[in-house]
Amino acid sequence: MPNNKILVIDDEEVVIAAIKRSLKREGCKIISANNGKDGLEMYAREQPILILLDIRMPNMGGVEFLEHLKLSPSGPCSVIVLTGHGDDAIMEKCFKMGVSSFLKKPYNLYELIGLVRHAIALKQTQREITEYQRHLELLTENLQKTTVSKEYVDNIVNNMVEALIVVNPDSSIKKVNHSTLNLLGYEEDELIKKPIAIIIADEEFKRDGIEDLIKKGFVGGAEKNYLSKQGEKIPVLFSSSVMREKDGNVQGVVCIASDITKRKQSESALKESEERYRTLVEAIPDIVYRIDVNGYFTFISPSIRNLGYEPNELIGKHFSGIINQKDTESLSRNKILPEYNGKNTGDGNAPKLFDERRTGKRLTKNLEARLAPKIRDEGNNEEMEYVGLITAFGEVGDSEQYDSSKSKFIGTFGIIRDITEKTRFEAETIRAGQFAILGELSASVAHEVNTPINSIANCAQLLLDEFNNKNIDNDLIKIIISESDRIANVTRSLLSFARAKESDKSYINVNDLLMDVLTLTGMQLKTCNINVEIDIEPALPDIVAHPQRVQQVFFNIINNARDALNNKSGDSRGGDKTIKIIGEKALINSNPYVLITFYDNGGGISADKINKVMTPFFTTKPRGKGTGLGLSISNRIINDHNGTIKIESSQGEYTKVIISLPVVD
């Protein structure tokens, strides 16, 4: 059974945990230690094939650990150094002590996996070649003791897949097999008795020659470069063993090599691809992340520094750590999905989750969430508010460890785009729209307030006269109370809409919101001789919404209907003009909704324009009469409440605006 043990030596448990989660699907058994001293004991006991080593640790650091380990190319283990503190001097020292790779934190998860795969494959290949060479030596020894013919031995050698070269003690080539000739492009007589140096491209070998191989006695799994007849360098995995006479004198050196050109090309392509990926990810301003099945970061791009975090400090931490606590419970699948148990939401109304596991139409897109930055506002030491737009999709990986389908969810990729400025701009735009509506309402409000005030003043004067005559009339008092209530209702509705600070979402009654809006717009509609018909089901269920935003949508639609009716009649006071408002319960994809329909018998919208009316700055009103933002803002508000706006119209006859808002149990 192949050795798949990896020893992780790091003093940070979160790093160890992240590596365990990342490499588990590679079929590796992960063991760990928190310092070099414990790592040596673990290495001696477990004999791992690969060590992932940190440099700076308590008790014994990585460099001291390597000094005790005494790595060798033919040894049973490889080492990859992972550190955020390494400089060029430390890197050079580590490489001289036999380290195979050096990866600086924060590292790309796939770069780490690629290095681990390469290191394990290389070491296993070395072991296989070593084992093969030992069998070959045993075979040679046994053949020397038998009377098997030379042709039989040559047949075995020439049918080997690996390139075999036998070298004399004077460095001349004594024997080559067919694989060697095919690999290098030589004929046999072009190599026999020639110096081995003509087919070795490495300067180190040219300097030390065959004497170094004889001195070492055995070399297993070293990477070298052969040189073809055409002068092309061919990377090989090289092993050698010394043959001796019975008296101990050197008879020659057997060299075995495997062509690793394709593997080197794959490694180079992988490295280039990873470098392009890293460069791209580091260049874009959006935050790119990957979390495992439990929501813990396995990768996060350097753009997270805009929120005050270092990428490395978040590896192994949960995603919720960068989300505002107020939003956490409304975004995580563990909190949300139980509420949807047994419900058929359809693609359009599927819940949006930061730890998405779906693809296609149900993929999480444009999930708006408040982020929790590490940085603070220097003025008041409070957290600055950032808003991120999250797009996330589940990742499915193949592995033979799983069932026959060879597929299992392994994590989520996502992108977070900072929309703080965009959100602020939209809020200012919405606020500007509210002020515009308030401007339109000011004349109506003045009339609504002045009329009851005049009535109150007159009634008060009459009461004064009655008191003087001692003939008190209760009807006058009732008029005063009624007109006072009228002023109070107008003032309350106006203040509700114009409240300076928008509240969080809350349970609200659609009928109450409509009545507040009609209280403020009633005089305008009455002045324009517009008849308002209201048909709202009793006990209409509450919705969860921002009251001021939904009110603004109602204002926009009613004002649009008023303008359409006046434009059709050509007279703000004449014509048969009607606005109907219908409120009813409905089921959409088996889920409860509230439908609010606004109908007017105005001029309608032409077929070529109806698909454009919710586009920002598009308007059907005369120049100077509209901004083209009312319906686009309204559409965005309703979408933010997981609802929809649908417009039906027939030019010259009617317009119908249907708003659907979900009912939350």
Q: Above 80 in pLDDT, residue 563?
A: yes
Q: Above 50 in pLDDT, residue 404?
A: no
| Band of pLDDT at residue 346, cut at 50, 70 and 90 | low
| Band of pLDDT at residue 88, cut at 50, 70 and 90 | confident
pLDDT for position 485: 63
- Give the span between the Cα atoms of 203 and 227, in whole angstroms: 12
Instruction: Share the mean pLDDT of the chain.
Output: 75
Q: Phi and psi for 377 in degrees, rounded to 5? A: -70, 115
Q: What is the pLDDT of residues 514-540, one digit of tens each?
A: 888 887 787 778 888 889 999 998 888
Q: What is the pLDDT of residues 4-37, one digit of tens each?
A: 889 999 888 878 888 887 787 777 888 999 998 9
Q: What is the pLDDT of residues 608-639, one digit of tens each?
A: 888 877 776 556 665 545 555 567 778 888 88
Mean pLDDT of 44-49: 89
| Band of pLDDT at residue 82, cut at 50, 70 and 90 | confident
- Give the span between the Cα atoms of 272 and 369, in whole angstroms: 35
Q: Is the pTM of this model over 0.85?
A: no
Min mean pLDDT across 388-397, 485-494, 554-563 is at 388-397
Which structure tokens are listed for 68? 């005790």
Cα distance between the two ends of the chain: 56
Reduced 3-state DSSP string for 49-97: CEEEECCCCCCCCHHHHHHHHCCCCCCCCEEEEEECCCCHHHHHHHHHC
pLDDT for position 515: 86
Which structure tokens are listed for 180? 């060697």
Alpha-carbon separation of residue 483 from 269, 465, 478, 659 (angstroms): 82, 20, 9, 34
Q: What is the pLDDT of residues 574-600, one digit of tens each?
A: 568 899 999 999 998 888 999 999 999
Which structure tokens are listed for 569? 């009649």
pLDDT for position 559: 85
Q: What is the DSSP string of 17-50?
A: HHHHHHHGGGTPEEEEESSHHHHHHHHHHH--SE
- Give the span between the Cα atoms of 535 and 514, in whole angstroms: 11
Q: What is the pLDDT of residues 252-301, one digit of tens each?
A: 888 888 898 888 887 787 777 767 777 777 777 888 888 887 778 888 88
